[in-house]
């Protein structure tokens, strides 16, 4: 059920992106709504992935594999820190480029 809803959301969003790209005239440069894509990923995909990780961790902990759960949790947290660092570097890099080439 969850996978079906995710698939439907991806298809609908992809259709909207293609429609918005096709709606422009030939003289206008085509732009991609990156804010919309990031919002979609943050509001639709990330919670589903975190829920799947949670279910896997709870299942492993129920089987007595607590050390594996702790290791996997630590790896997941480190991965989230890397992603947050990459996003902050993206914004910091944008600011540095604007300062350098102003």
pLDDT in tens, the chain (102 residues): 555 655 565 555 656 655 665 555 556 667 777 788 878 878 888 888 888 888 888 888 888 888 888 888 888 889 888 888 887 787 787 777 888 887
> What is the number of domains present in the chain?
1
The Cα 69–Cα 32 span in angstroms is: 39
Ramachandran quadrant class, 64 (left: phi over 0; alpha: psi -120 to 50; beta: rest): left
Pair 30, 21: CB distance under 8 Å? yes
Amino acid 96: pLDDT = 78
For residues 44 and 6, the answer to whether their CB atoms sit within 8 Å is: yes
> What is the structure's pLDDT at 22?
57
DSSP 8-class letter at 43:
I
What letter does residue 29 receive in the DSSP assignment?
Answer: P
* pLDDT value of position 68: 82
Buried-exposed string 43-74: b where 16+ CB fall within 10 A, e elsewhere: eeeeeeeeeeeeeebeebeeeeeeeebeeeee
The reported pLDDT for the residue numbered 41 is 79
Q: What range does the domain containing 31 cover? A: 2-100
User: What is the model's pLDDT at position 34?
Assistant: 76
What span, in angstroms and rounded, lies between the C-alpha atoms of 11 and 3? Answer: 12
Q: Tell me the average pLDDT of the chain.
A: 75
């Amino acid at each position: 059920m969850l996978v079906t809803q995710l698939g439907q959301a991806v298809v609908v969003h992809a259709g909207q992106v293609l429609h918005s790209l096709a709606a422009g005239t030939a003289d206008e440069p085509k732009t991609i709504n990156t804010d919309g894509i990031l919002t979609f990923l943050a509001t639709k995909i990330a919670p589903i992935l975190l829920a799947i990780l949670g279910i896997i961790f709870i299942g492993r902990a129920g089987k007595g594999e607590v050390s594996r759960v702790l290791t996997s949790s630590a790896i997941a947290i480190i991965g989230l820190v890397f992603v947050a660092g990459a996003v902050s570097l993206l914004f910091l890099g944008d600011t540095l480029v604007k300062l350098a080439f102003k």
